[in-house]
Structure 1
C-alpha cells in the first residue's frame, strides 16, 4: 500500500506540470519562498539540554577589587627584562 502523502505529492507534481496560469505559478513561488524563510528563522521546538545560568555565574564572578588584585599578581609574575 502506497503512502498517501507520496500519492498527494505525485498528484501535485502532475498538476503543476500541466499548469499554464502564471498567477497560480507566482502564488506557488511566493508560498515556497515564505516557507523557506519561515524555516530559516524559526527556532526548533526542542528543550535546551543546558540551562542558562548566566546570572548565577555572574554573581559568583570577581568584583573590581579582586580583579585588580589578580591583575597585579599576574603582572608581577611576568618575566620583565631590564
Structure 2
C-alpha cells in the first residue's frame, strides 16, 4: 500500500475487530478482486466513498462510545450502539 493511501485508510477505514492490514487484505480478497480495479484503485475508490459519506468516528464520538473496546463486545451490541448513534 502506498504510504499516502495507507495514512488515509488508517483514518477513514480502520478495523474495529482485527489489525488494519489483515482487515484490508480481507476486504480486497472478498470484494476488491471482483471489482475490476487494481488493488490501489480499489482502495482509493473506497476512501473516496468514505470521505463523501457519514464519518463513523464523528458518529461514535457524538454518542460517547468511541473509547469502548469493541473486541470485547458481541457484534450485535456494537451494531445496536452504532445504529443508535446515527
Place the TM-score, normalised by the shorter chain, in its bin: under 0.3
Structure of greater Rg: 1
Kindly indicate whether structure 1 or structure 2 has the higher relative contact order, using CA contacts under 8 Å at least 6 residues apart. 2
TM-score with structure 2 setting the length: 0.22
